[in-house]
């Protein structure tokens, strides 16, 4: 989580650094100031690697270069970093090549504050910890305690391994339980489910459901198409509390499509696969071996809904200040004998083209770790491709040059 700025990394600006200076925010477990850039000598590189891995192996945090601090860790003045862009890239290059495993979600930027170039690094609390320094045979694990860092003991290394394994286990159990609940809610009715859960302990509450701005994000999500396959609730949608958090829905059509945000950050979309989702049927050989008519899944819906979902998720992530990656999934429940065509609907030969039939009850896309620095189009395409590939095709044809194109 974002501890100081109440926004995600992309939104942090010079004014936030000024806030740290004015409020005299001291160094602590998840915040470190460096007055100047790391040197080029081997000892300087080792020190840098200890600084970054010690954050990742503890609770994550921020490292700022270009801020002087006193003996109590209080920031005192700014000191511009020379060749800041070059220095930022140099540090990232070293971190990528000398730490195993790599720290996922590591981010960096240059900020100009009162004419001073400051380097800001975000080191997430890593779900792949502990991270080993491999620079020139050093082979050490380090961890941060308050303002200090130290070499990890055997017990500390074992404890980090256990915590990482427990986090992944707890998230898996949460998702398994949620799947059971969804199947209990929908019965035999076909639904398209898209969901994500942040790489945080699912038992922790991070969402204030009384936050009016948060509710506005759910109703007036960014980049929502006013026609087509999206979660555009603006002007019509409603928000109501649920046992789990908040739900956005359309009055008198709650079973059609909903968005639900849990108090633990889990975000889920549920879309009814009805005649609107399947606007045509086609002659096909069904899973029972007999010819018949199969409902054809709309390629617009299969690609458009995850695109809409990820646009809203990126805004939610920014609003909530979540820096961690997400575990994402998608499922098409109760779609046995539904079909999918290879090409775009406007493509030549689509109407009488081949159709692939799904012969199982459910189609479930395995969970995928998502870093939301990627574009919504890129994230949506990954899931759409996997659906098309499940039907035996190369990939989703609804994207051109990586961008969703609802029409040719």
Which CATH number covers residue 48? 3.30.950.30
Q: Give the whole-angstrom CA distance, residue 331 versus residue 318.
A: 26
Q: State pLDDT tens for residues 132-153.
A: 999 988 889 999 988 889 999 9
Q: State pLDDT tens for residues 370-393.
A: 878 788 999 999 999 999 999 999
Residue 46 resides in a domain: yes
Query: What's the predicted TM-score (pTM) here?
Result: 0.75
pLDDT above 70 covers what percent of the chain?
Answer: 97
- Structure token pair of residue 268: 């889920």
Query: Same structural domain for residues 101 and 239?
Result: no
Of 341 and 289, more confident: 341
Query: Same structural domain for residues 362 and 235?
Result: yes
| b/e sequence 85-94, b meaning 16+ C-beta within 10 Å | eebbeebeeb
| Distance between first and last Cα of the chain | 41
Task: Look up the domain containing 72 and give its range.
Answer: 9-152
Q: Is the pLDDT of residue 351 over 80?
A: no
Query: Same structural domain for residues 20 and 136?
Result: yes
Q: Is the pLDDT of residue 408 over 60?
A: no
Query: Same structural domain for residues 145 and 176?
Result: no
Query: Same structural domain for residues 145 and 71?
Result: yes
Average pLDDT over residues 237-263: 93
| pLDDT for res 1 | 46
Q: Give the whole-angstrom CA distance, residue 317 versus residue 311.
A: 10
Q: Which residue reads 């617009």 in tokens?
A: 300
Query: Same structural domain for residues 59 and 201?
Result: no
Residue 165 resides in a domain: no
* Domain termination site, one of 152, 183, 200: 152
Residue 220 resides in a domain: yes
Q: Are strands 267-272 and 191-198 parallel, antiparallel or unpaired?
A: antiparallel
* Domain termination site, one of 91, 119, 152: 152
Query: Same structural domain for residues 290 and 176?
Result: yes
Of 171 and 406, more confident: 171
Residue 130 resides in a domain: yes
5-10, Cβ contacts within 8 angstroms, sequence gap of 24 or more: 5/321, 6/321, 7/318, 7/319, 7/321, 8/317, 8/318, 8/321, 8/322, 8/323, 9/107, 9/109, 9/122, 9/323, 10/318, 10/373
Residue 161 resides in a domain: no
Query: Same structural domain for residues 251 and 115?
Result: no
Query: 254 falls in which pLDDT band (50, 70, 90)?
Result: confident
Average pLDDT over residues 222-246: 87
| pLDDT for res 199 | 87
| Total domains, the chain | 2
pLDDT above 90 covers what percent of the chain?
Answer: 67
């Amino acid at each position: 989580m974002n501890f100081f700025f109440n926004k995600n990394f992309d939104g942090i600006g010079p004014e936030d650094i000024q806030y740290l200076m004015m409020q005299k925010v001291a160094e602590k477990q998840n915040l470190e100031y460096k007055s100047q850039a790391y040197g080029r000598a081997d000892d300087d590189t080792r020190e840098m690697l200890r600084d970054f891995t010690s954050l990742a192996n503890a609770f994550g945090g921020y490292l700022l270069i270009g801020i002087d601090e006193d003996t109590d860790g209080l920031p005192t003045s700014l000191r511009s970093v020379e060749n800041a862009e070059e220095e930022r890239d140099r540090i990232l290059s070293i971190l990528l090549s000398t730490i195993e495993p790599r720290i996922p979600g590591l981010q960096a930027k240059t900020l100009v504050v009162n004419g001073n170039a400051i380097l800001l690094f975000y080191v997430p609390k890593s779900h792949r910890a502990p991270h080993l320094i491999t620079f020139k045979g050093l082979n050490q694990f380090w961890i941060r305690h308050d303002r200090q860092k130290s070499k990890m003991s055997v017990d500390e290394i074992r404890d980090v391994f256990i915590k990482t394994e427990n986090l992944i286990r707890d998230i898996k159990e949460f998702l398994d339980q949620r799947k059971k609940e969804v199947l209990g809610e929908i019965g035999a009715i076909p639904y398209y489910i898209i969901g994500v859960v942040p790489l945080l302990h699912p038992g922790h509450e991070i969402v204030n459901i009384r936050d009016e701005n948060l509710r506005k994000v759910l109703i007036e999500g960014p980049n929502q198409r006013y026609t087509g396959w999206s979660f555009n609730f603006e002007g019509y949608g409603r928000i109501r509390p649920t046992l789990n958090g908040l739900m956005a829905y359309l009055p008198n059509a709650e079973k059609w499509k909903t968005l639900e945000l849990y108090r633990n950050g889990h975000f889920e979309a549920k879309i009814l696969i009805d005649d609107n989702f399947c606007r045509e049927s086609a002659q096909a050989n069904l899973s029972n071996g007999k010819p018949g008519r199969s409902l054809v899944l709309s390629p617009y819906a299969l690609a458009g809904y995850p695109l809409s979902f990820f646009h809203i998720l990126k805004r939610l992530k920014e609003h909530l200040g979540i820096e961690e990656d997400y575990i994402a999934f998608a499922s098409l429940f109760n779609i046995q004998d539904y079909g999918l065509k290879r090409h775009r609907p406007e493509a030549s030969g689509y109407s009488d083209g081949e159709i692939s039939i799904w012969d199982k009850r459910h189609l479930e896309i395995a969970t995928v770790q998502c870093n939301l620095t990627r574009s919504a189009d890129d994230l949506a395409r990954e899931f759409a491709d996997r659906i098309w590939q499940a039907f035996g095709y190369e990939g989703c044809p609804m994207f051109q040059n990586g961008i969703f194109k609802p029409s040719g």
